[in-house]
Amino acid sequence: MPPFLNNVSDLSLLPEILKRRTFAIVSHPDAGKTTLTEKLLLFGGAIQEAGAVKSNKIKKHATSDFMEIERQRGISVATSVMAFDYKEKKINILDTPGHQDFAEDTYRTLTAVDSAIVVIDVAKGVEPQTEKLVEVCRMRKTPMIVFINKLDREGRDGFELLDEIEEKLGLHVCPLSWPIGMGQRFKGVYNLFEKQLNLFQPHGKQDEEEIIAIKDTNSELLVQHVGAAATKELRDDLEIVNTVYPDFDQQKYLDGNLSPVFFGSAINNFGVKELLDCFIQIAPPPKPRETEERTVRPDEDQFSGFVFKIHANMDPKHRDRIAFLRICSGKFERNTNYLHVRQGRTMKFSNPTAFMAAKKSIVDEAFPGDIVGLYDSGNFKIGDTLTGGENLHFKGIPSFSPEQFRYINNANPLKAKQLDKGIMQLTEEGVAQLFTKEDNARKIIGTVGALQFEVIQYRLEHEYGASCNYEPLSLHKACWITADKKEAINKLVKERKRDIAKDKDGHLVFLAESAWALKMAQENYPHVEFHFKSEF
Ligand code: G4P
């Protein structure tokens, strides 16, 4: 039993908490996240046929047509959280948009999980999007398991990949399975966790994986099944594995300091069951979470949770939004009054929704680790806390420094109010970030992907009756600035007024034109801290 559950406040909650595993699968597009998700759902019986999740994936070729992407995103709301039962565990997979223009959505979703599985393509290795997402997990000390995918194809050497994972992702790894050949020569994996041989049969015939218990890899059984040459190769590899990599240590994994690695082929459903079986044994149940006021334990009898994502409906006939709430403690119940901490008033929800792989259903109750969707007419913004009455503010829902910037101008002077309201609401929803310059009060929109500029323009027009246009702005980064001594900040603000702005909550931000300008500012103002995310 996890140590923090030693003094349980509400015993009836305990079995529900211990059952839950809430996690996300992260990868660079095309590494196989959707395929792996689908296979996991098939194991859990949540879907009956392959393809059910795939059809909801945002298609790559639609990048130029944001309405099409939004339409697909609308469909994908249903699969935002996929819950299924497997071996007496209740598993919640939080889907993360693969499209990189929605990376900020993904970053925020990662604040709502207890662990993650990182998928890597055996041929491509560590790719840029994987690096960013793993960095977010690492910052939060989220335990990660790595799945190296597509072993049915020729790819890179296992050791070379592990080196790259350690170097580029900053993870300490320990292989829990090891491949025997790859591509045409792929014979299977040796599972170091269960001490068994898992034989590969190509062409998707993996319904009954052929598994042979081989406790000692010096056993002749190995030769009988994979032949002498492959056995020698495996034994040599395992000798290196045993010398170079640490033994698996669950506590280190739970602390985010050691990542087990599995090899397989998601499309062939190979290595997926062993990944899932290991996952439910080692992955953490919902953990205590920090608020500004105190640590909140999942087993407390008072309910609490926070909003990590808001999905707006683009259909003008149904202007509602869905706020996704992660439950952190106690039991959430339908039609019960809860405190909306920021607004200081109580609210109740008559049709909170749970998502079961493409099926939405109204839930009467939900437990720590669960995600419920709340229909919202504009009351929520990202990071909002709901509680049973206590004033709590959950920490750890950061904004990341955007990567693209444009000045936003009002194109219709008669609609200035509507424009301001629209921009405010859209930024609260997390579509983009807003900065206001200190020297001339001009407004700057910052986003992760170019697509959001179109989304904002379209939504301002259709939802708020306001119109805007953009002016290019070449900026490298917007960094939040703090200092122990006020004078340090004041000096920077005074001397560099044209590079200073405030974010929508009034926090000071330094606008760096280039990486060099940022470096110079860091050197010239050594007592000022420059932050790349808004929560520090
Ligand atoms: P993503 O969500 O991470 O973007 O990846 P996705 O699962 O959509 O997989 C990307 C491509 O890789 C898909 O091919 C998928 O079939 C393929 N794939 C996934 N796992 C494996 C594997 O273990 N081995 C091999 N050889 N391929 C794999 P696609 O051609 O883009 O799509 P489709 O036509 O197959 O649907």
DSSP secondary structure string for all residues of 240-268: HHHHHSPPP-HHHHHTTS-EEEEE-BTTT
Lowest mean pLDDT among 1-10, 65-74, 234-243: 1-10
- Tell me what pLDDT residue 43 has: 82
Give CA separation, 117 vs 137, 278, 407, in Å: 10, 12, 38
Q: Classify residue 419 by burial, with Cβ atoms within 10 Å: 0-12, 13-18, 19+.
A: buried
Q: What is the CATH number of the domain that holds 460?
A: 3.30.70.3280
Structural domain includes residue 392: no
Structural domain includes residue 132: yes
- The residue out of 387, 413, 438 marking a domain boundary is 387
Q: Which DSSP category does 146 fall into?
A: E
Arithmetic mean of pLDDT over the chain: 86
| Residue closest by Cα to atom 22 of ligand 1 | 150
Cβ-contact 57, 75 below 8 angstroms: no
Residue 72 and residue 208 in one domain:
yes
Mean pLDDT computed over 376-387: 89
Structural domain includes residue 30: yes
Residue 108 and residue 228 in one domain:
yes
Distance of alpha carbon 219 from alpha carbon 199, whole angstroms: 16
Residue 331 and residue 455 in one domain:
no
**Ligand 1 centre from 265 Cα, in Å?**
10
Distance of alpha carbon 225 from alpha carbon 181, whole angstroms: 13
Cβ-contact 352, 363 below 8 angstroms: yes
Structural domain includes residue 25: yes
Instruction: Name 314's Cβ contacts closer than 8 Å, sequence gap at least 6.
Output: 67, 70, 71, 74, 459
pLDDT digits (tens, 9 = 90+) for 257-308: 999 999 999 998 889 989 999 999 999 999 999 999 999 999 999 999 999 9
Ligand 1 binding pocket mutation candidate from 63, 267, 268 (most atoms within 8 A of CB): 267
Lookup: tokens for 434: 């807003």
Structural domain includes residue 8: no
User: What is the position in ligand 1's atom list of the atom closest to the CA of 265?
Assistant: 23
> Which is more confident, 42 or 123?
123
**Ligand 1 centre from 69 Cα, in Å?**
20
| Residue closest by Cα to atom 33 of ligand 1 | 54
**Ligand 1 centre from 209 Cα, in Å?**
21
Residue 238 and residue 318 in one domain:
no
Residue 86 and residue 227 in one domain:
yes
Distance of alpha carbon 508 from alpha carbon 281, whole angstroms: 45
Distance of alpha carbon 350 from alpha carbon 475, whole angstroms: 45
| Residue closest by Cα to atom 30 of ligand 1 | 30
Residue 478 and residue 379 in one domain:
no
- Tell me what pLDDT residue 246 has: 95
In 3D, which of 283, 26, 60, 272 has the Cα closest to residue 150?
Answer: 272
User: What is the position in ligand 1's atom list of the atom closest to the CA of 35?
Assistant: 7
**Ligand 1 centre from 505 Cα, in Å?**
42
pLDDT digits (tens, 9 = 90+) for 294-319: 999 999 999 999 999 888 765 556 66
Residue 221 and residue 277 in one domain:
yes
Cβ-contact 256, 144 below 8 angstroms: yes
Residue 102 and residue 200 in one domain:
yes
pLDDT digits (tens, 9 = 90+) for 385-435: 999 999 999 986 777 788 899 999 999 989 999 999 999 888 888 888 999
- The residue out of 282, 315, 334 marking a domain boundary is 282
Name the pTM for this structure.
0.85
Mean pLDDT computed over 440-467: 88
153 lines ligand 1 (CB under 6 A): yes
**Ligand 1 centre from 33 Cα, in Å?**
8
Structural domain includes residue 398: no
Mean pLDDT computed over 518-530: 95
Total domain count for the chain?
3
Identify the top-confidence range among 32-41, 78-87, 243-252, 315-324. 243-252
Distance of alpha carbon 82 from alpha carbon 22, whole angstroms: 10
79 lines ligand 1 (CB under 6 A): no
Cβ-contact 272, 266 below 8 angstroms: yes
Q: Which DSSP category does 445 fall into?
A: E
pLDDT digits (tens, 9 = 90+) for 145-193: 999 999 999 999 999 999 999 999 999 999 999 999 989 888 899 998 8
34 lines ligand 1 (CB under 6 A): yes
Residue 52 structural domain: 20-282
Structural domain includes residue 422: yes
Ligand 1 binding pocket mutation candidate from 26, 27, 28, 35 (most atoms within 8 A of CB): 35
Residue 69 and residue 41 in one domain:
yes
- Tell me what pLDDT residue 3 has: 47
Please report which confidence band the pLDDT of residue 7 belongs to, taking 50, 70 and 90 as the band edges: very low
pLDDT digits (tens, 9 = 90+) for 214-234: 878 888 888 888 888 889 999
Residue 125 and residue 268 in one domain:
yes
| Residue closest by Cα to atom 25 of ligand 1 | 150
Please state, for a pLDDT cut of 70, what percent of the chain lies above it: 86
98 lines ligand 1 (CB under 6 A): yes
35 lines ligand 1 (CB under 6 A): yes
Residue 78 has pLDDT above 70, yes or no: no
Residue 92 has pLDDT above 60, yes or no: yes
Please report which confidence band the pLDDT of residue 98 belongs to, taking 50, 70 and 90 as the band edges: low
**Ligand 1 centre from 190 Cα, in Å?**
24
In 3D, which of 353, 380, 169, 327 has the Cα closest to residue 256?
Answer: 169
Residue 26 and residue 143 in one domain:
yes
Q: What is the CATH number of the domain that holds 211?
A: 3.40.50.300
| Residue closest by Cα to atom 35 of ligand 1 | 267
| Residue closest by Cα to atom 10 of ligand 1 | 30
User: What is the position in ligand 1's atom list of the atom closest to the CA of 36?
Assistant: 7
Ligand 1 binding pocket mutation candidate from 26, 30, 37, 127 (most atoms within 8 A of CB): 30
Distance of alpha carbon 411 from alpha carbon 233, whole angstroms: 68
Cβ-contact 118, 134 below 8 angstroms: yes
Residue 365 and residue 474 in one domain:
no
**Ligand 1 centre from 25 Cα, in Å?**
15
Show the 3-state SS of 41-92: HHHHCCCCCCCCCHHHCCCHHHHHCHHHHHHHHHHHHCCCEEEEEECCEEEE
Mean pLDDT computed over 429-450: 90
- Tell me what pLDDT residue 409 has: 94
Using the structure block, give the residue that is written with the tokens 């699968």: 25
- Tell me what pLDDT residue 61 has: 45
Structural domain includes residue 1: no
